[in-house]
Amino acid sequence: MQPRLVPALVAELIGTFALCFVGILAIHAGSGLIGIALAHGLILGIFITITAATSGGHLNPAVTCGLLFGGKIKLDQAIAYIISQCAGGVLAGLAVMAIYGKGGAEIVSNGTPALVGDTTTMAALLAEAITTFFLVSAVWGTAVDPRAPRIGGFAIGLTVTADILAIGPLTGAAMNPARAFGPAIAASLGGASYNWSNMWIYWVGPILGGIVASLIYKSFFWPTNAKN
């Protein structure tokens, strides 16, 4: 392993754990759409700021894949990051189950993004891709670009908040495969039901959106005098 990879993986695990843990419990608390959006945006902004110096504060396989295609992370690192992010999501679900005991698995399942009402597969895929495009664009514009204002995770957290307000009633607004996959694994281990047939949407949509955002940013907005 690379010397600094272990601390980076721990940072990615803890940051994704925090996002999933707070997200699940905010939904369980009945915080309403605005409260849920704020909870996700605030905790993400805080932990991106905390982990940025150690791992870059990805906390999201879609961000990692976008930065991989943008030449900002190597393939072996990206794979390790994604594993750590998903593990953080699983541990968050297990932690909620440990707190609530019996019935905890259902709380985790209910707090995991899922298609709402009559939302179609194509609509969900498009919604997740577009909002993740916004999210990864914010990552490039406020954290990766050498000209970017150093405002921590503030702008990225606000983007997540806005995205949840926009598509939360459609897909649960994951924009993050680990936010869906990890808790769904934990809920299933606890015996709760989860509709796995739509899980691919929460991988394909966000990753496509993240890759497109990265390619566009590097092609049109990246400074010509930057090293990479």
Per-residue pLDDT at 3: 44
The Cα 183–Cα 105 span in angstroms is 9
* Two structure tokens written together for 14: 């803890």
pLDDT digits (tens, 9 = 90+) for 83-102: 999 999 999 999 999 999 98
Q: For 11-25, what is the mean pLDDT?
A: 98
Residues with Cβ < 8 Å from 33, sequence gap 6 or more?
Answer: 164, 165, 168, 169
Per-residue pLDDT at 69: 97
Residue 178: is its pLDDT beyond 60? yes
Q: Return the amino acid letter for 97.
A: M
If one counts every other C-beta atom within 10 angstroms of the C-beta of residue 182, the result is: 27
Q: For 40-57, what is the mean pLDDT?
A: 97
**Burial annotation 54-77 (CB, 10 A radius, 16+ → b, else e):** bbbbbbbbbbbbbbbbbebbeeeb
Residue 2: is its pLDDT beyond 70? no
Please, is 96 exposed, middle or buried when counting C-beta atoms within 10 Å of its C-beta (0-12, 13-18, 19+)? Answer: buried
If one counts every other C-beta atom within 10 angstroms of the C-beta of residue 193, the result is: 10
Residue 214: is its pLDDT beyond 90? yes
Per-residue pLDDT at 1: 42
What is the fold of 5-220? Glycerol uptake facilitator protein (1.20.1080)
In sign, the C-alpha dihedral spanning 214, 218, 222, 225 is: positive
Q: For 195-201, what is the mean pLDDT?
A: 96
pLDDT digits (tens, 9 = 90+) for 126-158: 999 999 999 999 999 999 999 988 888 999 999
0.85 surpassed by pTM: yes
Per-residue pLDDT at 164: 98
If one counts every other C-beta atom within 10 angstroms of the C-beta of residue 100, the result is: 15
Q: Which CA distances in Å does 60 have to 47, 97, 112?
A: 12, 22, 15
pLDDT band at 226 (very low <50, low <70, confident <90, very high): confident
Per-residue pLDDT at 128: 98
For the chain, domain boundaries: 5-220
